[in-house]
């Protein structure tokens, strides 16, 4: 085999491997969910999704994930900014602690939250069995995403471009909006996508504190599990398919927003 031929095959092999890997891990399971959903026909799908309790669970999950993502975009960017641009005592500690919610097994996070904000809260805050519990748990586990995607981009940002903007008459706010934000937009969008995806799929951290009350605090993943426990695989797949479409729509929307912001300036 000549060198030229092998050079040609290297990239092809890489692409093939990547496609295979992606197929095995992502495409096939996704297709399986959709096939399973389709097996029952549209009628079964609508019955499952239109079910009052299921719809409430999906709505709760999506709305709270959106809210939490919005908060993360703002607070996460702020934390990243503080970690990169400011110097304060305890900065190194904070930098490490940021990852704890991510590193913690989710059920452990659930236990921690229950102990802290449950009926026997040492600080007198009891949010057990409320929607606040869902919000709090999602906020806890998704905290690192935006911080960790924005931080390295911010650290690499050209400070002189900001100084140049200032010499050209831009206020600090204008400089942030027109110079810094466009550079951070892809990172913020990536962090937001991860945060949202994690939000709609979360189970372990909120299952203990939220109480899983039907119509009130039950989230989609809990609903899927109860469908499976009841032997209704088709209904479980239907909810899963909805979450899949929502996640896809969210990622696409974020990408579009990110492109607009990155080009605006």
Out of 4, 7, 96, 168, the only residue in the binding site for another protein (CB under 8 A) is: 168
User: Any contact of residue 79 with another protein (CB under 8 A)?
Assistant: no
For the CA atoms of the chain, what is the radius of gyration? 22
Interatomic CA distance for residues 94 and 58, integer angstroms? 34
Taking CB under 8 A as the criterion, the residue among 60, 68, 139, 165 binding another protein is 165
Largest CA distance in the chain: 74
Contact (Cβ atoms closer than 8 angstroms) between residue 64 and residue 58:
no
- The DSSP-derived string for 212-260 is T-TTTT--HHHHHHHHHHTT-HHHHHHHHHHHHHHHHHHHHHHHHHHHH
Tokens at residue 246, please? 């929502």
Pick the piece of the chain touching another protein (CB under 8 A) from 47-55, 178-186, 193-201, 203-211.
178-186
DSSP label at residue 104: S
Q: Which of 102, 58, 105 shows the shortest CA–CA distance to 204?
A: 105
- Residues 147, 156: Cα–Cα separation, whole Å: 15
Among 11, 89, 169, 231, binds another protein (CB under 8 A): 169
Q: Kind and range of the H or E element at 146?
A: helix 131-156
**160 binds another protein, rule: CB under 8 A:** yes
Per CB under 8 A, 263 contacts another protein? yes
Task: Give the one residue of 30, 49, 116, 166 binding another protein; rule: CB under 8 A.
Answer: 166
31 touches another protein (CB under 8 A): no
Shortest Å, Cβ 159 to another protein: 9
Q: Among residues 185 and 234, whose Cβ is nearest to another protein?
A: 185
Is there binding between residue 244 and another protein (CB under 8 A)? no
Choosing from 84, 176, 182, 232, the residue that interacts with another protein (CB under 8 A) is: 182
Interface residues toward another protein, by CB under 8 A:
158, 160-161, 163-171, 174, 178-179, 182-183, 262-263, 265
């Amino acid at each position: 085999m000549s060198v030229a031929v092998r050079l040609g095959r290297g990239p092809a092999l890489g692409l093939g491997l990547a496609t295979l890997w992606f197929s095995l891990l992502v495409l096939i399971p996704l297709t399986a969910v959709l096939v399973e959903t389709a097996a029952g026909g549209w009628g079964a799908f609508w019955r499952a999704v239109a079910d009052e309790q299921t719809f409430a669970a999906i709505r709760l999950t999506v709305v709270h994930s959106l809210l939490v993502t919005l908060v993360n975009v703002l607070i996460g960017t702020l934390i990243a900014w503080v970690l990169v641009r400011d110097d304060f005592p305890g900065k190194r500690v904070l930098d490490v602690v940021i990852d704890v919610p991510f590193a913690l097994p989710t059920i452990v996070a659930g236990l921690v939250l229950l102990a802290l904000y449950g009926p026997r809260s040492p600080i007198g805050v009891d949010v057990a069995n409320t929607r606040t519990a869902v919000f709090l748990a999602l906020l806890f586990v998704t905290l690192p995403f935006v911080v960790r995607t924005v931080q390295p981009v911010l650290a690499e940002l050209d400070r002189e471009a900001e100084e140049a903007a200032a010499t050209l008459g831009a206020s600090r706010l204008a400089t942030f909006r027109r110079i810094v934000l466009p550079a951070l937009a892809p990172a913020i969008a990536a962090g937001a996508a991860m945060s949202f995806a994690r939000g709609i799929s979360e189970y372990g951290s909120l299952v203990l504190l939220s109480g899983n009350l039907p119509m009130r605090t039950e989230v989609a993943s809990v609903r899927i599990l109860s469908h499976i426990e009841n032997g209704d695989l088709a209904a479980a797949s239907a909810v899963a398919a909805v979450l899949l479409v929502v996640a896809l729509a969210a990622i696409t929307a974020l990408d579009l927003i990110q492109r607009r912001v990155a080009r605006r300036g």
